[in-house]
Structure formats: structure tokens, C-alpha cells
Amino acid sequence: MMMAGPCSVESEDQLRTIARELKKSGVKILRGGAYKPRTSPYAFQGLEVEGLKILRKVADEFDMLVVTELMSPDVLDEFETYVDIIQIGARNMQNFSLLKALGKSTKPILLKRGMAATIQEWLMSAEYIMAYGNDDVILCERGIRTYETYTRNTLDISSVLAVKELSHLPVIIDPSHAAGRWNMIESLSLASLAVGAHGLIVEVHHDPEHAMSDGAQSLKPKKYAEMAIKLDKVSKVLDKKLV
Ligand code: PEP
Ligand code: MN
């Protein structure tokens, strides 16, 4: 399952421009952050509920689903209204009160691996959501912090094999936050397919040089389209499918 879109929702025009291109490449799930967990309090924090409304409107125009990050249970009601899949970011993987609140949600949860979390800790966080009443959890490997600094994080593709041995949950890969560099995304996506991930979530921006967040790791729509064709061809050879 391919999920793609900008790191942040910046405006209705920006999201529409990107979604229109992604639709042509067969993307059915649109990503975009409305509540952004930024390292600096002075960096763009997201359009918040306005961003959720833009996501819903644009996704509906192109018959897509919305995946976006929730940082606090305070706005869970708004997410229930506007969002199809609730993303929990790496920084909140062990926010246990948030995880408990998600147990009451009617939406599937995309649970990212914490940047310093073991596979066992990641699975226990998924267990929290399920123990509190919501069985629809999708795991997402997005790279872990190691001593290496050339890439933003280190993509642990073997974690896909581990969680497939240890649990029944679907697992996808986010090569964008793992690499932090757009020119690595295609190869890491092909590797994700080969290792047996059930999908990908990829950052795409029509003008990455001016993106309000994560431009350096964002593919332009044309590159995304080229990658999607290669993924499709390779999936046939591997007899695995990323829809
Ligand atoms: C994101 O998806 O934009 C994001 C902030 O990801 P992560 O939580 O993996 O850093
Ligand atoms: Mn991002």
C-alpha cells in the first residue's frame, strides 16, 4: 500500500498540486502533517485543524484516504471527523496516555517506530493500543538513531522480518525519514519491497527547495512516478505486491 504526500500541509493549493500528481501514479492514501513535531519551537508547527480540513477536502476531490499525525489526545475528536488513518510519530511511540486514548478510536493507527526503540518496545506500544480496544494497527519502520550521521537515521530493514515473525500486524517502511536524502528513496523503497514490507510512506513535494519541512528528503512528483513504475515491475518479479 503506497502512502505519499508532503511532510507538512502548507496550503490548499500546495496539497492539491501534489495530490493531483500522486493520483496519476496510483496513490490512494495521501499523507501530510497538520500537527508537526518539530525539534525547534520556532520552526513551522503546522496548520493544525485547518490542515486537517484541507487534507479531507483535497483527498475527497481525488478519492483518496488521509493519513496524518496526531500528537495529543486533545484533538482526537477532530481526527475522528477528518482523518482515515491516524499516524503516531516516532517521538510519541511511548506516549502511553496517547496510546491508551487510541484504543478508543474507530480509526486504524499507523504506529511509527521510536528513533531509539527496540523491536520489542515497538510491539509493546502496539499492544497498548490493542489492549485498550483498537485492533487496527499498522507498524511503520522509519529508521533508528545510530552513530552514523551521513543519513538522517539508519533504516533497519531487518525489523520488517522480525515483526513478521513476532506478530500478525502489517508493517510498512518510511524511507524518507530513514534516509533524510531524496536520492536514496528509490533504492530504499525497492529494498523495502524485497524484504517484504506491506507498503511504503514517502514524502513528495512539487517544490522541495521551498518546502516548509523536510524538503531535502522529498521526491518531486516526476521522480515518484518513475519510482512507482519500477516498484510495480519489481513486485511482479518478486511476486509481492505494493498496491
Ligand atoms: C513525519 O512523518 O513527518 C514525521 C515527523 O515522522 P517521524 O515521526 O517518523 O519522525
Ligand atoms: Mn517529515
Q: Tell me: the pLDDT tens digits for 30-74?
A: 999 999 999 999 999 999 999 999 999 999 999 999 999 999 999
The answer to whether 191 and 198 have CB atoms below 8 angstroms apart is: no
Ligand 2 centroid to Cα of residue 94, in Å, is 19
pLDDT tier for residue 242 given thresholds of 50, 70 and 90: low
Q: Which atom of ligand 1 is nearest to the CA of 88?
A: 8
Please tell me the number of the ligand nearest to residue 36's CA.
1
Q: Whose CA is nearest to atom 10 of ligand 1?
A: 90
Residue among 221, 206, 199, 211 at smallest CA distance from 22 = 221
pTM of the model: 0.97
Domain CATH code at residue 104: 3.20.20.70
Query: Ligand 1 center to residue 164 CA distance, Å?
Result: 22
Task: Find the 194 Cα to ligand 1 centroid distance in Å.
Answer: 23
Show the cell assigned to 133: 480496544
Closest C-alpha to ligand 1, atom 8: 89
The ligand placed nearest to the CA atom of residue 67 is 1
C-alpha cell at 53: 480540513
Residues of the domain holding 179: 2-242
CB 184 within 8 A of CB 202: no
Closest ligand 1 atom, residue 33 Cα: 3
Check if the beta carbon of residue 94 is closer than 8 Å to that of residue 121.
yes
pLDDT (tens digit per residue) in 74-115: 999 999 999 999 999 999 999 999 999 999 999 999 999 999
Number of domains in the chain: 1
